Chains A and B, each alone.
Chain A
Amino acid sequence: MPFACIFVPDLPVEALVRAEPELRAQSLVVLEGKAPLQKVFAVNENARRAGVTPGMTKLQIEACSGLVLRARSLPQEAAAHAALLDCAQSFSPRVEAAGCDTIVLDLAGLQTLFGPLPKIARALSRRASNLGLETSVAVASNPDAAALAARGFSGVTVIPEGKEAEMLGSLPVEVLFGNSVPESGQSLETFNRWGIRKLRDLAALPDVALSERLGQAGIHLQKLARGAISRTLVPVEPPLIFEEVIELEYPLVLLEPLAFLLGRLLEQLCARLEARALATQELRLDLELQNGWQTEDLSTNNGGTGVLARPGRAQTRLFQRTLRLPVPLLDSRIFLKLLQLDLKAHPPGAPIVKIHLAAEPVRPRSTQNGLFLPPTPEPEKLELTLARIAGIVGEDKVGSLELLDTHRPGGFRMQRFAPEPFSPQRHPSAALRPGSDIEKNNSHFSTHMSSINSSVSEPALGVVEGCLRGGDDLVTALRIFRPPVDVVVTVQDGKPASINCLKKKEMQGEILWAAGPWRSSGDWWEQEGWARDEWDIAVQAETGIALYRLVRDRLTGRWILEGTYD
C-alpha cells in the first residue's frame, strides 16, 4: 500500500515567503524571541550559504550584510500548515499530520484516478507550489519510509517496494530525529561516538547488541533506517477553515499597497478553496490598526461592520469588513476589486499592522445555462458592477425594492439586487395587474392610425416577443417628487382653487379640475402617525394640462405636491 509524504523544509521561512514571494531570492533569516534576546530560528538556503545557522543571536548575524530579518509568525505558519493539509486533502481523504511541516497521505486506489505513483508525486509537488510552498515529496510503501525520504531527499522521490533500505541508506542519521533533535540528542551523540553517520550503517548493526545498548528505542530507530516499520495511518479530518494572515513589519497607510497584499492573500485563499473543490460566499477582512488610534463603531448597509479610527488612546484596534456575495464565487481578481471598492468607500482610518482574511466555504455554483433562456448578467460581473455603481451613487441608492405591508406613503425599502435564475412561474405581483382590482369604468381604448402612404396593420419587422397588452391594461404612472414640493394653496368652497410654488414656476396657476379628497391615515397608535387628504388636480401648463397629486397633511396643515401623473 503506497504512501506519500509532503515535507516543507524550513516551514517558518516558507510561511513568510508564501506571503512575500520576493523574499525567496534573498537571504532570509527568521528570528524568534523578544528583543534584545532574539535568536535565529530558521534560515533559507541563501542565508545558510552566508554562514547563518539556527541558534545564532541577532548580534552575531548583524555582521553579515544582505540579510533580511523577519520575526517568526505563528499565524502564518498555521495558515501554511492548513494549506498543506488542503493540498493533501485534494488528493486523498486519508491524511495524517505527522508534524507542522510533514503531511503523510494514503495513496491506495489513487493510481486509477491520477495515474502512476511518480505522476501523483509530481502533481502533489505542483499543487503545493501553487499554494506558495516549496516542498519535498516522497512516495514509499510505508508512511515512515516516505517521511524519511521526504526529509532527506529534495524534490520528488519514489521508492519502489522492497528497495527502502537501499535508498534510505545514503541519508544521514539526523533525518531520523527530524525537528526533535534536542530531545534525541543523546541517541544522536551515541551514534556519532560509534562512527555511525549514515542510515545504512545503523541498519547493518546487529539487533541484539543494539537492543542491549539502546533498548527498544534503538531497535525502533534501526527499523526506521531499514524502512521496515509498518504502522497504521492516523487520519485527521481538518476543519474547513480558510484563513490567511499577514503580519506587517511596517504599518500600511495607503490603500494601494494594501491591495497588493490583499491580492496575494486572496490568491492563496482561492487556491486552497479550489484544491478542496469549494467556493466562497462570504469574505471577512480584519485589519489590525496601529496602537494609539481610537476606534468607534460604525454601522454599514451592506452587511459589513466597521470601525472608525481616530487619534487618541488605544482601545479596540480591529477594523472589520464583511463581503457577502449572492452566489458562490471563486475569482481572486473579483474579490480584490470588490474589497478595493469597499475599502475605498469605508477606509480604515488608521495605519494597518496586520491583515487577516477569512473565507466562508460553500459548495460551488453548478448551473447550466440554456440556449433559449432570457439574457441574465453573469453573477461575477454583476457583483462588480453593483459595487462600482454603489461607489458612484451610494450604497443605499442601488438595489431592488421590496414593498412593505403598509399604506404609509413611500412604504418600500431597498434591498440587495440578486436576480434569481429563470423560473417559469410568474411573480405574485403579476396578480396585481390592473383589470382585477382597479375599476374599469371609462376605460377607453381606441386605435386610430392615419398614414400618408400606408397604414400599419401588423408588426412590420422581426418577431415580436412576449404578450401584447392593450391600452386598457395600462396603468397611469405617478412620478414622485423626492422630496415633495411645498406649495401654497388657495381653498374655495372646501376644495383647492389655485396653487403657487415659490421654487418651481411651472407649478402654479389656477386649478382647472380637482378630484378628491381621498382621506387616509395610519399608525395613529404609534408616535409616527400620519393622516392626509389627497387631491388629483389639473393645472394648465405651457405644454398642456399637467396632472398633479396634491396632498394636505392633516396633522401639520402643510400642502405638498407629491408627484405628477404621467
Chain B
Amino acid sequence: MSSLPLVFNAAVGRPIAIDAPAWSTLDFKRLSLSAMPKLAGVTSASRLEVRPIPQMVSSGVREIDTLTGGFPRGCLTEVCGPASSGRTSVLLAALAAATQRQEVCALVDISDAFNPHSAAAAGVNFEKMLWIRCGGLLQKSGSPQRHRDTEKNEKIQKPVEQALQVTDLLLQSGGFGLVIIDLGDTPVKMARRIPLTSWFRFQRAVEHTATVLFVISRVPCAQTCASLLLKVSGKKQSALSCQLSAEAPAHAQLLNGIQVQGELLRSRLERKPAGSVTTEFTTKVRVG
C-alpha cells in the first residue's frame, strides 16, 4: 500500500493526495499553491452588503409607533407580558391596522383564545383574516394506563407543534402581510421548549419579504431572532387600582380599561441602547 502525502487545503476543506514521485521532485509550496483553487467566489468582508433598513408599518397603537417606529416588515416582533397586561389588545390593534391596509393576515391561535367580538370592536376586517385554531385532531391515547400528567403534557404540547407546522406553511406560502403567533396562554415551560432553530427558520422565511411576523407570549421566546422585543405590563397605579379602594356597590362599578406600560427591551433596528424606553397607554372596556 503506497502512502501518499496529504496536503490540507483550507479553501477546499479537504485534503489533497499527491503522487510520491512528483512529491519527491517538486517543491512542496509551489505544488500546494498550484493545487489550491482560486478564491474567486469569496467576497471580502469590506464588500459585504449592508442589510437594508426594513420598512416599518404601523402597529395600530400610536404610542408604540412613537416608541419603536412601528413594526418592521420581514422581521420577527415579539410582545411579551403576563396575563391582563394588554398583549392581546396590542395584537388586535395590529391586526386591525393590517386588515384596514387591505393586507391578508393570519392568526395562529395556539390556545384557541381569540374573541371575535373584541376583534370586531377593534376594527378587524374578518375577510382579510385567516384564523387557525390549534388543538384540533388531538388523538386520544389508546392505553388507559398512561399517566395523567403525560396526557396533560401532550394536550399542551400538541397545539404548539401544530402551530409551528402551520406557521411554517404560512410563511412558505408567502403573501401575508401579518402572521401572528399567539402564545399568550401557553405555559412558560412549554413556550421555552420551542427550539431556537424554529425561530431562526421563521426569521429566515420572512426575511426579504413584506411579512410582519408577530409573536405574543408570557416571556421572551424567540430570543435573538426577535428584531423587536417589547414588554408590556399592567401599570400598578392604574385606574383599576383607584377603583379598588372605592366603596361603591358592585353594580355601580365599571371596568374602564387596562393601563398598559410598554418597555422596549430590544431593537435591532437602531444601535442606541433602548432598555429603559417606556410608554404608557390605556385600553378601553367593555366589548363583547
Partners in one complex: yes
**A residues with CB within 8 A of B:** 373-378, 381-382, 384-386, 388-389, 392-394, 396-403, 412, 414, 417, 419-420, 422-423, 426-427, 429-430, 432-434, 438-454, 456-482, 494-495, 512-517, 535-536, 538, 541, 543-547, 563-566
Contacts of A399 in B (CB 8 A): 130-131
Contacts of B162 in A (CB 8 A): 392-393
Shortest Cβ gap from A451 to chain B (Å):
5
Contacts of A468 in B (CB 8 A): 58, 62, 65
CB–CB A565/B285 < 8 A: yes
CB–CB B280/A462 < 8 A: no
CB–CB B133/A385 < 8 A: no
Task: Determine the residue in chain A with the shortest Cβ distance to B272.
Answer: A453
CB–CB A441/B256 < 8 A: yes
From B60, B65, B287, contact of A478 by CB (8 A):
B287
**Could you write out 24 A-B pairs with CB less than 8 Å apart?**
A385-B170, A392-B162, A414-B131, A426-B125, A427-B126, A432-B120, A433-B121, A445-B281, A448-B279, A453-B273, A459-B56, A465-B70, A468-B58, A468-B62, A470-B62, A474-B282, A477-B91, A478-B88, A479-B111, A479-B115, A536-B253, A541-B83, A547-B255, A565-B285
Contacts of A444 in B (CB 8 A): 239, 256-257, 259, 282
Shortest Cβ gap from B113 to chain A (Å):
4
> With A414-B131, A429-B125, A545-B240 as given contacts, are A459 and B113 in contact (CB-CB < 8 Å)?
no
CB–CB A382/B100 < 8 A: no
Please measure, in the bound complex, the distance between the C-alpha atom of A203 and the C-alpha atom of B276, giving whole angstroms: 104
CB–CB B136/A516 < 8 A: no
> With A461-B270, A512-B244, A545-B84 as given contacts, are A398 and B133 in contact (CB-CB < 8 Å)?
yes
From A402, A447, A465, A495, contact of B250 by CB (8 A):
A495
Please measure, in the bound complex, the distance between the C-alpha atom of A267 and the C-alpha atom of B207, giving whole angstroms: 35
Interface residues of B in 54-98 (CB under 8 A from A): 54-58, 60-63, 65-67, 69-70, 72, 82-89, 91-93, 96-98
Contacts of A479 in B (CB 8 A): 88, 111, 113-115, 184-185
**B residues with CB within 8 A of A:** 53-58, 60-63, 65-67, 69-70, 72, 82-89, 91-93, 96-104, 111-137, 162, 165-166, 169-170, 172-177, 184-185, 209-211, 233-234, 236, 239-241, 243-244, 250-251, 253-260, 269-270, 272-273, 275-288
Interface-centre pick from A378, A414, A480 (highest chain B CB count, 10 A): A480
Task: Determine the residue in chain B with the shortest Cβ distance to A424.
Answer: B102
Please measure, in the bound complex, the distance between the C-alpha atom of A248 and the C-alpha atom of B139, giving whole angstroms: 35
Please measure, in the bound complex, the distance between the C-alpha atom of A177 and the C-alpha atom of B83, giving whole angstroms: 87
Besides the contacts A462-B269, A541-B82, A566-B85, what 16 more A-B pairs have beta carbons closer than 8 Å? Answer: A393-B134, A393-B162, A398-B131, A403-B120, A419-B104, A426-B100, A433-B123, A448-B280, A449-B277, A456-B66, A465-B70, A472-B284, A474-B281, A475-B122, A477-B91, A547-B240
Please measure, in the bound complex, the distance between the C-alpha atom of A422 and the C-alpha atom of B128, giving whole angstroms: 10
Contacts of A465 in B (CB 8 A): 55-58, 70, 101
CB–CB B123/A430 < 8 A: yes
> With A467-B58, A565-B258 as given contacts, are A430 and B125 in contact (CB-CB < 8 Å)?
yes
CB–CB B114/A448 < 8 A: no
Contacts of B125 in A (CB 8 A): 426-427, 429-430
List of 8 A-B pairs having minimum Cβ-Cβ separation, nearest first: A471-B281, A377-B175, A394-B136, A543-B82, A515-B253, A466-B58, A477-B88, A427-B125
> With A381-B173, A474-B282, A565-B258 as given contacts, are A469 and B69 in contact (CB-CB < 8 Å)?
no
Contacts of A403 in B (CB 8 A): 116-117, 120, 126
CB–CB B136/A471 < 8 A: no
CB–CB B233/A544 < 8 A: yes
CB–CB A447/B169 < 8 A: no
Task: Determine the residue in chain A with the shortest Cβ distance to B130.
Answer: A417
Please measure, in the bound complex, the distance between the C-alpha atom of A459 and the C-alpha atom of B65, giving whole angstroms: 7
From A382, A478, A481, contact of B173 by CB (8 A):
A382
Shortest Cβ gap from B196 to chain A (Å):
22
CB–CB A374/B276 < 8 A: no
Task: Determine the residue in chain B with the shortest Cβ distance to A459.
Answer: B69
Please measure, in the bound complex, the distance between the C-alpha atom of A423 and the C-alpha atom of B127, giving whole angstroms: 12
Task: Determine the residue in chain A with the shortest Cβ distance to B209.
Answer: A375
CB–CB A538/B87 < 8 A: no
From A394, A401, A460, A467, contact of B69 by CB (8 A):
A460
Contacts of A446 in B (CB 8 A): 280-282
Contacts of A376 in B (CB 8 A): 103-104, 175
CB–CB A474/B283 < 8 A: yes
CB–CB A447/B102 < 8 A: no
Task: Determine the residue in chain A with the shortest Cβ distance to B121.
Answer: A475
CB–CB A480/B101 < 8 A: no
CB–CB B127/A427 < 8 A: yes
Please measure, in the bound complex, the distance between the C-alpha atom of A427 and the C-alpha atom of B103, giving whole angstroms: 12
Please measure, in the bound complex, the distance between the C-alpha atom of A515 and the C-alpha atom of B244, giving whole angstroms: 11
Contacts of B236 in A (CB 8 A): 544
